[in-house]
Amino acid sequence: MTQSLYILNGPNLNMLGRRETDIYGDVTLEAIARSCTRRAGTHGFDVAFHQSNDEGELVDLIHEAGAKGAGIVLNAGAYTHTSVALLDALRAVDLPTVEVHLSNIFRREEFRRHSFVSQAAVGVISGLGPIGYELAIDALAAHIGIASA
């Protein structure tokens, strides 16, 4: 059976393409979903792609990933900087997770420089725009391959 990578997106990422385009660019989340599906396919993975503005729903999706998935790519949006609940969920499921941000959170406001998610992530990709998701999939596929070898 084909394994799934869970690509999870937090609040306001449904607005990509229209939202602060000077920071986040004009690529929509739907376009990112398509490129993720293509990229994961080259590694032999399916994709479960989700976006939610609700912290609890993201916790549930992380739990679902733990039950059904092989790894997680997570752009938690603003919850990155605030959510102990997401960190605890990631620790609870213990799946390899790559954290992604479209923008470079380290050259923005001070409050964006801290990430709870990072404490449970294999690695972080920040500032490379939509291609960051594809690089995260490559990294996750390599990590899972190494982990299962």
Going 37 to 104 to 69 to 17, the CA torsion angle's sign is negative
Q: Name which of 126 and 144 has its Cβ closer to ligand DQA.
A: 126
- The verdict on 51 binding ligand DQA (CB under 6 A) reads no
Q: Which of 35, 103, 128, 143 binds ligand DQA (CB under 6 A)?
A: 103
- The verdict on 75 binding ligand DQA (CB under 6 A) reads yes
Angle at 10 (CA atoms; ends 57, 1), nearest 5 degrees:
70
101: annotated active-site residue = yes
Q: Tell me if 43 sits within 8 A of 108, measured CB to CB.
A: no
**In the complex, what is the shortest distance from the CB of residue 3 to ligand DQA, in angstroms, rounded to a whole number?**
25
Q: Tell me if 76 sits within 8 A of 51, measured CB to CB.
A: no
Which pair of structure tokens corresponds to residue 24? Answer: 């986040």
6: annotated active-site residue = no
Inter-axis angle of helices 55-68 and 84-93, nearest 10: 10
Q: Name which of 61 and 144 has its Cβ closer to ligand DQA.
A: 61
- The verdict on 77 binding ligand DQA (CB under 6 A) reads yes
Enzyme catalytic residues: 24, 101
Q: Which residues bind ligand DQA (CB under 6 A)?
A: 12, 75, 77-78, 80, 101-103, 105, 112
